[in-house]
Amino acid sequence: MKRDSRLSGVLHVLLHMAERRDPMTSEALAQAMQTHPVVIRRILGGLRDAGFVRSEKGHGGGWTIQRALGDITMRDIYDAIGRPALMAMGHRTDAPGCLVEQAVNAALDTSFRDAEALLLARFAQVTLAELAADFHARMAARPATSVKDHIHG
Amino acid sequence: MKRDSRLSGVLHVLLHMAERRDPMTSEALAQAMQTHPVVIRRILGGLRDAGFVRSEKGHGGGWTIQRALGDITMRDIYDAIGRPALMAMGHRTDAPGCLVEQAVNAALDTSFRDAEALLLARFAQVTLAELAADFHARMAARPATSVKDHIHG
DNA sequence: TTTCATGTAACTTTAAATAATACGTGAAAT
DNA sequence: ATTTCACGTATTATTTAAAGTTACATGAAA
């Protein structure tokens, strides 16, 4: 399995956008994330459709956040990127005729469902404003002088 | 990401073994699991080292369970197969110096750690005996006549 | 001594995420 | 108007870990 890092990627990108007043280009965001501009457009595309960010073409264009950070939770972002799988484990067959497999799947499914519910509940409790505040707290605890010293690019 | 199904696979195999008195060969287990004998040996190898099963070579050889089903929990099995990742998401390590990324990772890690702890706690509460009982209950709720009608192979 | 069955290493295939390429659309600057 | 900038997206390639496969060695029983 290749671990999915879209959620952390999107959150990272959004917080970087939040530190700026002007639109940020996919190019600039990609550089900050050490990835490709197309990847940025793909993951932000879902957020645009959900109304969290706006994109503008042409000179001076780029991406801007459309809602107050306090009104966006990690759960919102998770939903907007298409609710990718949270659990790394599945089972071999979905509709098994084998009753042994049914018993095993039932036990695993129950546990995984509860763990997922816990995760989503946690996600819903964390807003981007809180993440931004955490970032600023980390910055204050450091000797460097400005925001620019703490973010890449 | 390719979902990991080793845990469900091992549990499945163990319950099948539990339904028999004689050793089961990797060949027979593989047929029941629709997979390859080598895969069976690989996943059972860890359990053998942990003392949950025993393997014997030669005529009449194969795999047998070494402990009472009530003394083996799903958590034991999870540990014995090497504690594979439970969560499908990781975070990018591209910019570890970035405080924004640190803030995001901290929030995600907290949630994921709690979800993993919940999962492992649940695993520790379920014994193979309970899974076997669930299997027999499912069998009793069905019109077919014998164990053989409900397990593959 | 032949056959059966596990023990393992090495290699191939597969699934999902990510990266890269190429080309299209629309907006602003000149 | 035309050029430049920046997003939109389809297509293809790369990467990673799991799963499958092959090959050969070891050891026990017939």
Residue of A nearest to B86 (CA): A88
Q: What distance in Å separates the CA atoms of residue B106 and residue B112, rounded to the nearest whole number?
A: 10
> Does the structure show a pLDDT above 60 at B23?
yes
For residue A62, the surrounding DSSP H or E stretch is strand A62-65
- B21 DSSP assignment: S
Q: What residue segments make up the domains of chain B, in order of their start?
A: 6-149
Q: Does B86 touch chain A (CB under 8 A)?
A: yes
Whether CATH 3.40.470.10 fits A6-149: no
Instruction: Mutate one of B3, B4, B99, B102 to test the A interface: name it (highest A CB count within 10 A).
Output: B99
Non-local (6+) Cβ contacts of B112 within 8 A are A119, B87, B89
Q: What distance in Å separates the CA atoms of residue A94 and residue B89, rounded to the nearest whole number?
A: 22
pLDDT tens by residue, B90-145: 887 656 678 998 999 999 999 999 999 999 999 999 999 999 999 999 999 977 65
Are the Cβ atoms of A5 and B85 closer than 8 angstroms?
A: no
Which pair of tokens denotes residue B124? Answer: 């520790």
> Does the structure show a pLDDT above 90 at A38?
yes
Cβ pair B123, B78 in contact under 8 A? yes
Non-local (6+) Cβ contacts of A10 within 8 A are A43, A44, A47, A77, A81
B52 touches strand C (CB under 7 A): no
Q: What distance in Å separates the CA atoms of residue A25 and residue A27, rounded to the nearest whole number?
A: 5
Residue A36's pLDDT is 92
Q: Does A38 touch chain B (CB under 8 A)?
A: no
Taking C1' of D26 and every protein CA, the nearest residue is B57
Q: How many residues does chain A have?
A: 153
**Which of A137-151, B50-64, B77-91 is least confident?**
A137-151
Q: Work out the average pLDDT over A35-56.
A: 93
Buried b (16+ CB within 10 A) or exposed e, B110-120: ebbeebbebbb
Measured between beta carbons, the chain B residues lying within 8 angstroms of A112 are 119
Q: Between β-strands B53-56 and A53-56, what pairing exists: parallel, antiparallel or unpaired?
A: unpaired
A84 touches strand C (CB under 7 A): yes
Are the Cβ atoms of A134 and B7 closer than 8 angstroms?
A: no
Residue B153's pLDDT is 46
Taking the CA of residue B79 and the nearest CA in chain A, the distance in Å comes to 15
Backbone angles phi, psi at A4, to 5 degrees: -80, 130
Q: What distance in Å separates the CA atoms of residue A98 and residue A100, rounded to the nearest whole number?
A: 5
Buried b (16+ CB within 10 A) or exposed e, A18-55: beeeebbbbebbbebbebeeebbeebbebbeebebbeb
Q: Work out the average pLDDT over A51-55.
A: 95
Which residue is associated with the tokens 């099948």? B16
The CB density around residue B56, as the number of other CB atoms within 10 Å, is 12
Nearest to B132, CA basis, from A36, A104, A133, A115: A104
Which pair of tokens denotes residue B23? Answer: 């050793």
Percent residues over pLDDT 90 in chain A:
73
Confidence band for B34, pLDDT divided at 50, 70 and 90: confident
